[in-house]
Amino acid sequence: MGLAAGRSRLPSCVSHAFLVFAGLFILASIPCEAQLSSSFYDNTCPNALTTIRTAIRTAVSRERRMAASLIRLHFHDCFVQGCDASILLDDSATIQSEKNAPNNNNSVRGYEVIDNVKSQVESICPGVVSCADILAVAARDASVAVGGPTWTLKLGRRDSTTSGLSQAAANLPTFRDGLDRLISLFSTKGLSTRDMVALSGSHTIGQARCLTFRDRIYDNGTNIDAGFASTRRRRCPVDNGNGDDNLAALDLMTPNSFDNNYFKNLIQRKGLLQSDQVLFNGGSTDSIVTEYSKSPSTFSSDFAAAMVKMGDIEPLLCSAGEIRKYCNIIN
């Protein structure tokens, strides 16, 4: 009788253990993507987004060009091993910084703005908000600060403990790229040709160095307006090494406002970079450029959607990576 009673309790115990195990298994099986949410910091750091927005507005009001720099910083981060803030890491004994990559060195900027934002956020919510999320939010707020679109961000990215210097040259577009190369690069990141054209529209703001457009303005090609080339030659001498760092606005018409004039410029053969003008040069993207040139609302909507997609490139989630205390070094 006692033995029988003991046996009767065993299945119940086993069943309970099984249910607990099954529950834990189900929880563990929930995709990490569920942690990417627009409300990710609502409870853990409710003032994070307001703090970031105020800091970005201040930075852009001090230097209008910074808006373009912050959007580009997020882009260059996401295209190299995902949106993980790896681009912010400095050289160390274990890190070869992406800042030294050819497409980033003496080109990508805005690091000090992100460091300042991180310091402010850490002061209210230590160890909660990732540098990767700060980059994503900063890009969105920079767009808004110069009259561009806004978008709803999914948050919850974590920061990498590694750098992708070796990947940067292969994964980042260059000012000399042709259309097929650009389409291919974006496609490998899950971005469509239309996304690529929309994201290129961020060149409606910002500036480029003479080094990046010298060949285009002196090659006497048929896909550049002669008067535009002449204007740009004034501050960009023909000889390499002479005036390489002299700057010119990517959009000659409204260089400090986020609008669709970039696409109107392309139709007039006034794209500053070769990688700009190839978007309207008798190829498959001509129709998209024409559409955006006629409809600023379509461009704004597509740009916002493409930024959300780009922000979803290979984020670190759950327990992967870390939340850095300082964005330029691992913990």
Category of 127 on φ-ψ map: left (φ > 0), alpha (ψ -120 to 50) or beta: left
Cβ–Cβ < 8 Å for 296, 57: no
Decide if 203 is catalytic.
no
Catalytic residue among 16, 74, 76, 203: 76
Q: How far apart are alpha carbons 112 and 146 in whole angstroms?
A: 20
Cβ–Cβ < 8 Å for 208, 272: yes
Using the 8-state DSSP alphabet, how is residue 329 labeled? S
For tokens 């882009």, what's the residue? Answer: 75
- Terminal-to-terminal C-alpha distance of the chain: 62
In the numeric block, which tokens belong to residue 123?
């002061």
Alpha-carbon separation of residue 306 from 85, 287, 291 (angstroms):
19, 18, 16
* Position 306, amino acid: A
Q: What phi and psi, each to the nearest 5 degrees, are found at residue 186?
A: -70, -35
Q: What phi and psi, each to the nearest 5 degrees, are found at residue 71?
A: -65, -40
Q: How far apart are alpha carbons 136 and 79 in whole angstroms?
A: 13
Q: How far apart are alpha carbons 25 and 28 in whole angstroms?
A: 5
Any idea which residues carry the catalytic annotation?
A: 76
